């Protein structure tokens, strides 16, 4: 069952990621990216990461991608032509570099260095465990992240303001 779901949702994730890269229309790309994130959320569930899976859907599909869609519609980008094939050579080179990177990554994974998996402890991936870690071992990064978010809010408002 697990491998079945893994191949289904992994396949959809890869297909939609490819569509994100190849769609002309920015709105189409964004929709497929949402689908891809949704599939990743399901994969997180398969990996027993319940809290992360829900946060993935809530934050990525529900908030970040809505922000993207908002900006795309605000700029009405679909009307702007991007189709001209300029510097085709650069594009081919870029794609080739990406494939080389992929081969490198796969080669690195293939090297059998991974130790045996450790059996999961009770309550793995639950909200309680994440909370315990966040407020004990990772307290300072957590606080820094909140400051980062505040800075981002202020920065976004300053940048998006019409009059400078």
Partner 1 sequence: MRYFADWIIENLEFTRAIPSEYVYLIIMVVGGLLLLLFVVPMAGALTFVERRVAGKMQSRIGPNRVGPQGIFQFVADGVKLILKEDIIPTAADRRLFKLAPYIVFVGSFLTFAALPFSQKLIAADLNIGILYIFAVSSMVVVGIIMSGWASNNNLSLLGGMRSAAQIISYEVPQILSVLAVILLTGTLGMQGTIKAQGWAPQHWFLFHNPFAFIAFFVFFISAVAECNRIPFDIPEAESELVSGYNTEYSGFRFGLFFLAEFANVYVISAVAVTLFLGGWNTPFYLPTGIWGLLPSAVNLAGLITFLIKTFVLVFVCMWLRWTLPRLRVDQLMTVGWKYMVPIAFFNLVGTAVWMLVWGDKSIAALLGG
Partner 2 sequence: MVSVEHYLILSGILFAIGVIGVLTRRNAIIVFMCIELMLNAVNLSFVAFARHFNDMSGHIFVFMIMTVAAAEAAVGLAIILAIFRNRETVDVDEINIMKW
Q: Which of residues 74-113 bind partner 2 (CB under 8 A)?
A: 74-75, 77, 80, 82, 86, 90-91, 93-95, 97-99, 101-102, 105-106, 109
> Which x/- pattern, by CB under 8 A, does the window 111-130 give for partner 2?
---x--xxxxx--xx---xx
Residues 6+ apart with CB under 8 A from 22: none
Site for partner 2 in 140-159 (CB under 8 A): 141, 145, 148-149, 151-153, 155-157, 159
Q: How far is the CB of 61 from partner 2 (least distance, A)?
A: 11
Q: Examine residue 70 and tell whether it contacts partner 1 (CB under 8 A).
A: yes
Cα distances (angstroms) measured from residue 150 to each of 34, 70, 135: 25, 21, 19
Angle at 78 between CA 77 and CA 79, to 5 degrees: 90
> Which x/- pattern, by CB under 8 A, does the window 40-59 give for partner 2?
x--xx-xxxx-xx--xx--x
Residues 6+ apart with CB under 8 A from 57: 37, 38, 41
Terminal-residue alpha carbon distance, the chain: 57
Q: Which residues of 25-39 are buried (b: 16+ CB within 10 A; e: fewer)?
A: ebeebbbbbbbbbbb
> Which x/- pattern, by CB under 8 A, does the window 85-124 give for partner 1?
----------------------------------------
> Which x/- pattern, by CB under 8 A, does the window 124-153 give for partner 1?
--xx--------------------------
Closest CA to 91 of 22, 8, 161, 13: 22
Per CB under 8 A, the segment of 11-19, 46-54, 84-92, 106-114 that binds partner 1 is: 46-54
Residues that bind partner 1 (rule: CB under 8 A) add up to a total of 21
Residue 142 in contact with residue 134, Cβ under 8 Å? yes
């Amino acid at each position: 069952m697990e491998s079945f779901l893994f191949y289904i949702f992994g396949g959809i994730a890869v297909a939609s990621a490819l569509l994100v890269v190849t769609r002309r229309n920015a709105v189409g790309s964004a929709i497929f990216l949402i689908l891809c994130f949704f599939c990743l959320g399901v994969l997180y569930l398969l990996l027993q990461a319940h809290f992360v899976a829900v946060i993935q859907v809530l934050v990525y599909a529900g908030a970040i991608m809505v922000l993207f869609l908002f900006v795309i519609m605000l700029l009405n980008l679909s009307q702007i032509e991007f189709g001209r094939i300029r510097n085709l050579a650069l594009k081919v080179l870029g794609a080739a570099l990406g494939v080389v990177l992929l081969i490198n990554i796969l080669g690195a994974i293939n090297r059998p260095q991974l130790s045996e998996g450790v059996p999961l402890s009770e309550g793995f991936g639950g909200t309680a465990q994440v909370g315990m870690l966040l407020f004990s071992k990772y307290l300072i990064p957590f606080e820094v992240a909140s400051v980062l978010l505040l800075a981002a809010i202020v920065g976004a408002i300053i940048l998006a303001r019409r009059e400078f």
